[in-house]
Structure 1
Amino acid sequence: MYIFRGLVFPSLICLWCLTGLGDGARILASISIPSYSHQVAYRTIWKELAKRGHDIVLLTTDPMEGHFDKIRQINLSSSYEIVESFKVSTVISKSKNIWKLMQLGVLSMSEAHRHQLLHPEVQALIHNSSEHFDLLMVEVVFPLHIGFVERFKVPVIALSSMDAASAVHGLMGNEDNPISHPQLGFDVPTSPTILERTVSVLFNGLINIYGLFVVNPMMDEIIQQVFGKDSKPITELMKEVDMLFINVNPVLHPIRAVTPNTIMFGGGTHVDTVPKPLPEGIRKFLDDATQGAIYFSLGSNVKSNLIRDELRQVFIETFKELPFKILWKFENEELPNKPDNVMIQKWVPQADVLRHPNIKVFITQCGLQSMEEAIMNHIPLIGLPFFADQPANAIMMHNKGFGVHLDHTKLTKEKFKETIMEVINNPKYKQRSVEIADLLTDVEMTGLEKVVWWTEYVIRNKGAKLLRNPIRDLPFYQYYLLDVIGFVGVLSFIVIFGTVKISLLIYRLVRQMIVKKPKKN
């Protein structure tokens, strides 16, 4: 019996340690933006955390297919109907008005998040007194779900599937300069003029004012409706954030000074390294592309069936003249005047398509996840950005040499065809994508490993407040040294004014002593 215990008990201990069951935590993860690209960025993270023994309740608008041990998914896909009721896709695909798009985006996101938080399964989480979690992981793009922090009294990790907004970086104490790091959706050249710098500063200020006086009150109203009238305002709740995970990599993005509690996990973290078979129709179409194939997709938010008719016609006329086959992600069943060398598909397994050896170039809206998938498969890009971070991504791609940036508002058939042939026939673009991929993978720790390690760090230590930048707690006027500048300015004025007055007084006295008064007759 002693021998049995001596062999079995240590074995059980080893098994327990290896599976991580002893350290398993309950994690509430909320990725609330109704956009597939936002959701897919984190899927490898959820799977890895579950594999390490953590129980995850995932609020998502795009549930993963299949069953996953230790992951319970709450399906919030009905949020898409709320967003589409505002015609957001139409505005994104057709409009050039950034303010109209921003206002419509805020309204639609507010109502979608209200709908999510009032979802029966979410309400059951909120009102079940026996429910508990050890960590909240919440998307920070529109951070209404941070209201859960008051309900469960847990540490918070904020996540962004792209770079975080300027206000979020400022909240974390990171560098927040409107010239070197302008607001998402606003482009500043590498060497901006004084006018461009001024416009960027003013735009940054307008966005911050709009957020403070329009967006924040909107979020506060919803938080109070869902979590109670005594709930803290969003500005106070955001101060509870322990760490920020952003899908950024210095190989692709501008260098930014960040605090220890800001973790950059970019570089293809979401890309599944295990290829899957392509659907038979797509596979045969690409296999038959003996001269090569082009993959064309404007992503999940920009709809090819909703873009301007004249732009769609430019695409059709250009593709008709090319010797390549074109696989086009197109949302309708039919495309009028579709050329014979074009296949349209409502949905495409993009990462696996980009692995196909006949793909020569990827024409993309320049969403970050799409670009990462192309880079990791050494596919050069042609960028047609529409909104959000896409223009900045396209300029970055162009400057780094693994693709070409085009303006879809000024696109002609001649320019489009010339660019496609240039990117396909000039080997420098593919070679540069290989070099960028090598840089992204030449790391001491993968993005996934970093995210998992720091997530478990926050769980082990019940937060990460010791890594906070004390600048976060400084008032605005102290952070920008306005009090020091004012004090020095006043002191300098007093000294200069006093020096001038004393000098004048001395001058008058000396002058009176030197200049003799005229004698009386």
Structure 2
Amino acid sequence: MYIFRGLIFPSLICLWCLTGLGDGARILASISIPSYSHQVAYRTIWKELAKRGHDIVLLTTDPMEGHFDNIRQINLSSSYEIVESFKLSTLISSDASRNIWKFMQLGVLSMSEAHRHQLLHPEVQALIHNSSEHFDLLMVEVVFPLHMGFIERFKVPVIGLSSLDAASAVHGLMGNEDNPIIHPQLGFDLPPSPTILDRTVSVLFNGLINIYGLFVVNPMMDEIIQQVFGKDSKPITELMKEVDMLFINVNPVLHPIRAVTPNTIMFGGGTHVDTVPKPLPEGIRKFLDDATQGAIYFSLGSNVKSNLIRDELRQVFIETFKELPFKILWKFENEELPNKPDNVMIQKWVPQADVLRHPNIKVFITQCGLQSMEEAIMNHIPLIGLPFFADQPANAIMMHNKGFGVHLDHTKLTKEKFKETIMEVINNPKYKQRSVEIADLLTDVEMTGLEKVVWWTEYVIRNKGAKLLRNPIRDLPFYQYYLLDVIGFVGVLSFIVIFGTVKISLLIYRLVRQMIVKKPKKN
């Protein structure tokens, strides 16, 4: 009996340590962008942290269904109404790619008001004004980082999150490599071998975006932060400097290599994909099961709406699908689709990851959102990309260059080109084979993205921050970082030396010349 007790007690201690129940922390997590793709990227993270005993208060526009121990969700889904009042979806679905400045202006205005609405939400206000409320860690989305205002309120370490690659300014604040030629701004695409004109435009675009952020976006955020958290609140530029670590949904298999500091963690590679398949709704399951010649899944994601795209583009889709021998499952936001072919099923919402697991799916026609692409790759499904905005064009070009899909321009799409591309991707095995190879590369890692995120989250909690990993570059002024003062000093010094040398040389020359040409006087 003594031996038995001697074995049980250490085992219980080990189990306690492994599950993290002994040091569970209180975490405030805020994913504020009203977009399902932004929300779903982190769900496995919340569940895993909660499973390890951490208590999470989650501010989200898309609450997870069901009850989860240790997770309290604050529903901010009303943010969608604010964004839609600006008709942002209409612009995105129609001509955002052709009017990027209008998209940026409308996007900034709509996101500012949506975030103001979120921070004034009664449950959020209760968090802010409850003097007894405390947290051990703040995890905030950095795409539009208005919720960084919580930093001063709770005086806690901060982890920034991005469901895609972070913006240039965020990388710069973390001390990461920020080169507009290697890593252009989101929304700007460079060809594989850019010309001098391409590179010049990328540099100018990068500068314009940064200036717009500094003089337009930041003042908007500062005004809202002061309204919500008090007139003495720090500006957003100062709050962002408090970020201890940055977690980005990036993987070197799918993204250009970037030199980053130890406090930037890349967790991309299908981290959000649930490994446990769920049964499909009966109607969708039967439709796909009956696709004896194969099926196509078509979705433009949660931000681009198929019912809002140009009529002529929608007609190209309809006419093409009508001529195909395959069944097509189309995520379509309306109840009815005029002139819908018999081989097409429309659904307002589709359990995408589980649909892509169905053995009859031959190809996924997508807007090239990062999460959608990862779900397809993990299920070895080749892609046809129809990008519209943000990181989608760059993702589509990457997909095309790596060979696991084909990139099409929806502004120039014809029925003939669309049909030809679909048949090529389905019938040519090289696309599927390449998706298998990419999936193998994504999973051939020393630690999964989820494991990395959880380990580093608990590192920040244990050490009450990660200032040890802070890049000293972050504290350098602009002119010192780019060595402008050194270049100026050396330039001035060189000028003085050269100028002095020339002046002295000229003086010596004149003296010598005078001595040589001067003739002695005759007696």
TM-score by length of 2: 0.97
Cα distance in structure 2, aligned partners of 1:295 and 1:90: 23
Match of 2:82 in 1: 82
1:161 Cα deviation from its structure 2 partner: 0.2
1:519 Cα deviation from its structure 2 partner: 8.1
- The Cα offsets for residues 205-255 of structure 1, whole Å up to 9 and x where unpaired, read as 110010001100100010011111111100111111000000000000000
More divergent stretch after superposition (183-192 vs 131-140): 183-192
> Residue 424 of structure 1: SS of its match in structure 2?
helix
> Residue 191 of structure 2: SS of its match in structure 1?
coil
Cα distance in structure 1, aligned partners of 2:77 and 2:198: 40
Match of 1:11 in 2: 11
Cα distance in structure 1, aligned partners of 2:407 and 2:291: 25
> Residue 240 of structure 1: SS of its match in structure 2?
coil
> Residue 268 of structure 2: SS of its match in structure 1?
coil
Output aligned runs, 1:31-430, within 5 Å.
31-94=31-94, 96-430=98-432
Cα distance in structure 1, aligned partners of 2:157 and 2:318: 52
1:325 Cα deviation from its structure 2 partner: 0.8
1:416 Cα deviation from its structure 2 partner: 0.8
> Residue 27 of structure 2: SS of its match in structure 1?
strand
> Residue 30 of structure 1: SS of its match in structure 2?
strand
Cα distance in structure 2, aligned partners of 1:188 and 1:489: 34
More divergent stretch after superposition (505-514 vs 260-269): 505-514
- The Cα offsets for residues 247-268 of structure 1, whole Å up to 9 and x where unpaired, read as 0000000000000000000000
Q: 1:496 to 1:453 in 2, by over 3 A?
A: same
Cα distance in structure 2, aligned partners of 1:392 and 1:170: 20
> Residue 364 of structure 2: SS of its match in structure 1?
strand
Q: 1:485 to 1:376 in 2, by over 3 A?
A: same
Cα distance in structure 1, aligned partners of 2:3 and 2:313: 78
1:497 Cα deviation from its structure 2 partner: 1.3
1:511 Cα deviation from its structure 2 partner: 2.1
1:175 Cα deviation from its structure 2 partner: 0.1
Cα distance in structure 2, aligned partners of 1:148 and 1:405: 41
Q: 1:505 to 1:414 in 2, by over 3 A?
A: same
Cα distance in structure 1, aligned partners of 2:2 and 2:442: 53
Query: Which stretches in structure 1 are left out of the alignment for 5+ residues?
Result: none
> Residue 361 of structure 1: SS of its match in structure 2?
strand
Cα distance in structure 1, aligned partners of 2:444 and 2:3: 48
1:5 Cα deviation from its structure 2 partner: 8.6
- The Cα offsets for residues 118-171 of structure 1, whole Å up to 9 and x where unpaired, read as 000000000111110000000000000011111110000000000000000000
Cα distance in structure 2, aligned partners of 1:505 and 1:258: 54
More divergent stretch after superposition (498-507 vs 422-431): 498-507
1:4 Cα deviation from its structure 2 partner: 11
Q: 1:4 to 1:273 in 2, by over 3 A?
A: closer
More divergent stretch after superposition (274-283 vs 261-270): 274-283
Cα distance in structure 2, aligned partners of 1:207 and 1:19: 45
More divergent stretch after superposition (4-13 vs 420-429): 4-13
Cα distance in structure 2, aligned partners of 1:304 and 1:128: 44
Q: 1:495 to 1:335 in 2, by over 3 A?
A: same
Q: 1:492 to 1:51 in 2, by over 3 A?
A: same
Q: 1:349 to 1:9 in 2, by over 3 A?
A: same
1:513 Cα deviation from its structure 2 partner: 2.4
- The Cα offsets for residues 307-348 of structure 1, whole Å up to 9 and x where unpaired, read as 011111111111111111111100001111111111110000
1:11 Cα deviation from its structure 2 partner: 6.6
Cα distance in structure 2, aligned partners of 1:79 and 1:109: 9
Q: 1:502 to 1:341 in 2, by over 3 A?
A: same
1:16 Cα deviation from its structure 2 partner: 3.4
1:278 Cα deviation from its structure 2 partner: 0.6
- The Cα offsets for residues 341-364 of structure 1, whole Å up to 9 and x where unpaired, read as 111100000000000111111000
Q: 1:509 to 1:266 in 2, by over 3 A?
A: same
1:7 Cα deviation from its structure 2 partner: 8.4
1:20 Cα deviation from its structure 2 partner: 2.1
Q: 1:328 to 1:518 in 2, by over 3 A?
A: farther
Cα distance in structure 2, aligned partners of 1:505 and 1:82: 76
- The Cα offsets for residues 34-77 of structure 1, whole Å up to 9 and x where unpaired, read as 00000000000000000000000000000000000000000000
Cα distance in structure 2, aligned partners of 1:420 and 1:8: 61
Aligned length: 521
Match of 1:489 in 2: 491
> Residue 241 of structure 2: SS of its match in structure 1?
helix
Q: 1:412 to 1:520 in 2, by over 3 A?
A: farther
1:515 Cα deviation from its structure 2 partner: 2.6
> Residue 197 of structure 2: SS of its match in structure 1?
helix
Q: 1:3 to 1:506 in 2, by over 3 A?
A: closer
- The Cα offsets for residues 280-314 of structure 1, whole Å up to 9 and x where unpaired, read as 11111111111111100000000000001111111
1:506 Cα deviation from its structure 2 partner: 2.1
1:498 Cα deviation from its structure 2 partner: 1.5
1:493 Cα deviation from its structure 2 partner: 1.1
1:15 Cα deviation from its structure 2 partner: 5.1
Q: 1:502 to 1:319 in 2, by over 3 A?
A: same
1:113 Cα deviation from its structure 2 partner: 0.4
Cα distance in structure 2, aligned partners of 1:118 and 1:230: 18
> Residue 456 of structure 2: SS of its match in structure 1?
helix
Output aligned runs, 1:423-438, within 5 Å.
423-438=425-440
Cα distance in structure 2, aligned partners of 1:394 and 1:481: 37
More divergent stretch after superposition (506-515 vs 325-334): 506-515
- The Cα offsets for residues 409-436 of structure 1, whole Å up to 9 and x where unpaired, read as 1111111111111111111110000000
Cα distance in structure 1, aligned partners of 2:98 and 2:8: 68
State the percentage of identical aligned residues: 97
Q: 1:284 to 1:483 in 2, by over 3 A?
A: same
Q: 1:296 to 1:496 in 2, by over 3 A?
A: same
Query: Which stretches in structure 2 are left out of the alignment for 5+ residues?
Result: none
TM-score by length of 1: 0.97
